[in-house]
Chains A and B, each alone.
Chain A
Amino acid sequence: MSSLAAPATLPGSSSPAPASTSASADRSRSVFPWLLLAPFLLLVLVFTIVPLFGATVLSTQQTFGPGTSRFVGLSNFRGVLSDPLFWTAFKNTFVFTLGSVCVQLPLALCFAMLLNQPGIRGKTFFRLILFSPVLVGVVYVAMIFFVLFQKRTGLINQLLAGILPSWDVGFAWLDQYIMLALILATLWQYMGFNMVYFLAALQNVPKELNEAAKMDGANWWKRFRHVTLPAITPVGSFVVLLSIIGSFQVFELPFLLLQGSTGVDNKGLTIVGYLYQTGFQSGDLGYASAIGWTIAIVLAVCAGLQRLLSAGSEVSRGGKVARGGGAK
């Protein structure tokens, strides 16, 4: 099928009289794909390629608002790397990413496996409930949890105090423990979403193989380790990567929960939050672009690692990536 309608000029046929010289029909067929692609390409050019180029230029400039700028070479990057605030933001973001990936994904996998068992009634209903928070936009999540996380009046502290008598109803979720609050709110929002991915992945587990393993006397853990895990590794490693990328760009939730501030001792400052602060509150789009590039580089390294690891796990058939994200 691959050479269907290859245009008249095949590379191999440049020698005398290539039989099918282009009729108008042929020409319309080679123009048409570009017509279909044109809107997309135009938009990508204006809103991705130009900004990408712009990000490179901007990162070497100091700007004051979008209109005025001056060239400063690599000093933005030097500034970023020696900026204690950047490193605070980096540390916070890293803690958040690690926390949410390591809590959320194993839980999501557990619930997916629970709901994937035969003979469980109401699967669709449970799935719907667990999935529903992802439909709630981050602004609304922040609104809800802002109230829920309040010190004395918040439902969460009140409930916890009801269950654990020693619980301090003044527990400062939104000050000292903002990262914990973020991890919990994100867990609430995205656990079911990731569960759905894992449920889809579990459909790839070969039934016969599981049954054969059962007949061979493999216990639950052995079957999970040698049948289930290898089968879900491709999707699993993709989900891990997506979660890392998503978590690393966390910004809106702390921004809204902390009402635009960065929290006590900058405990709620994330990298993208810092980017936003420098670019749109202080007006230095150049410095912001330099931060943007550091984010891009970190994520590219993560994606590269994921590729390496998933290639490795394919060789060893052990599902290293899923374990890397899961067994903590």
Chain B
Amino acid sequence: MKPRAIATYCIVVPACIVIALPLVWLLIASLKSSEDFFTSPFLPRGDGFLGIAWDRLTLDNFRNLLSKTGFARSLLASSLLASVTATLATLICAAAGYALARLHFRGKRGVTWLVLACLIIPGPLLLSPGFQVLYHLSLLDTFMGLILPAIGPAFGVYLFRQATVSSVPPELLEAARMDGCSEFRIFWRVALPLLQPMIAAFMLITFLSVWNNFINPQVVLQSAEKFPLAVMIAQLKDVYSQDYGLMMAGTMLSILPVAGLFMLLQRDFVAGLTSGAVKG
């Protein structure tokens, strides 16, 4: 037992270090001045504690980021896009998934097939014609043009359908029906509370995927003042091509808030992600 545990640690710990290294490096890089950026791979050497020049670490990159670039505006845009999309997508998918799992109506089989069919359509196929649809609806260069296509994912309907099947017992709905609830009230007051774990997981997944999405805003948006973080950060490279510290500070600030939050909530997140797979 014991040697086996040690052997395991000998593999897992270095792996964790390798995985964590780029993120640690990123944090340090964002704190370095441009002079130190290339001269020392990690912390700048000097005569401080542990032989490191602590005093040469600086917050200048962050200051520059906030003053010279549209970071704050993009942060706002990303937050807005991600939270609105996550909320609407969750509501729409929960409603549709619940209906497919527990209600009985003509045409249910057809809709279920539609959901499954949508699941296997690869995104790139719809990229060009989707762009055309947005063009015809005059939704190019608007937030709506990003939000609307993202709030009805078949994948979410499928997840909520599975979640409803496994965590909303039909007897409970029948009991509510006999207790005098309207159908809407049954959905709102009985089914939704029971779906709460999946709601949390799905909101997180959607929020994160919108936050990190690059290609859609890149294609849909044209005015720089609307760019969410992903596009804005990618463009830093073109504008401040030599200022690596600034770019790393921007990257750091874009990852940190969400990644931190999601690490705290990772239990829900993981549960939501894997629930789709285990049934798939």
Contact = CB atoms under 8 A, between A and B. Distances in A.
Contact of B103 (A33, A142, A296): A33
Given A28-B183, A147-B29, A251-B215, A46 B133 contact: yes
B15 A111 contact: yes
Contacts of B38: 153
Contacts of B174: 4
Contacts of A7: 104-106
A51 B277 contact: no
Tell me whether chain B's interface is mostly helix, strand or loop, or mixed.
Answer: helix
Interface of B: 1, 4-5, 8-9, 11-12, 15-16, 19-20, 22-23, 25-26, 29, 38, 41, 92-93, 95-96, 98-100, 103-106, 108, 111, 114, 118, 120-133, 135, 137, 148-149, 151-152, 154, 157, 170, 174, 182-184, 187, 208, 211-215, 219, 229-231, 233-234, 237-238, 244, 247-248, 250-251, 254-255, 258-259, 262-263, 266, 270, 273-274, 277-278, 280
B233 A139 contact: yes
A34 B20 CA distance: 48
Nearest to A115: B12
A139 B214 contact: yes
Contacts of A117: 4-5, 8
A6 B105 CA distance: 8
Contacts of A158: 41
Interface in A22-43: 28-30, 32-34, 36-37, 39-43
Which one of A192, A200, A201 has the highest number of Cβ atoms from chain B below 10 Å of its Cβ?
A200
A111 B184 contact: no
Given A66-B131, A147-B244, A295-B124, 8 more contacts: A1-B170, A33-B108, A47-B133, A52-B121, A66-B135, A136-B255, A137-B212, A153-B38
Given A33-B99, A135-B258, A200-B278, A54 B129 contact: yes
Contact of B11 (A41, A114, A295): A114
Contacts of B151: 39, 43
Given A135-B208, A147-B29, A44 B154 contact: yes
Contact of A235 (B103, B208, B277): B277
A5 B121 contact: no
A321 interface: no
A158 B41 CA distance: 8
Nearest to B94: A36
A245 B250 CA distance: 31
Given A139-B214, A143-B251, A289 B128 contact: yes
A249 B19 contact: no
B148 A47 contact: yes
B133 A126 contact: no
A144 B22 contact: yes
B95 A137 contact: no
A280 to B, nearest CB: 6
A128 B263 contact: yes
Given A44-B114, A139-B212, A200 B274 contact: yes
A55 B277 contact: no
B105 A30 contact: yes
Nearest to A293: B125
A285 B259 contact: no
Contacts of A296: 121-122, 125
A225 B205 CA distance: 34
A48 B238 contact: no
24 contacts: A33-B104, A36-B96, A40-B92, A40-B95, A40-B96, A48-B154, A51-B129, A53-B129, A54-B132, A66-B132, A132-B263, A138-B214, A139-B212, A139-B234, A143-B234, A144-B23, A144-B251, A196-B270, A249-B122, A251-B124, A276-B215, A285-B128, A285-B129, A295-B124
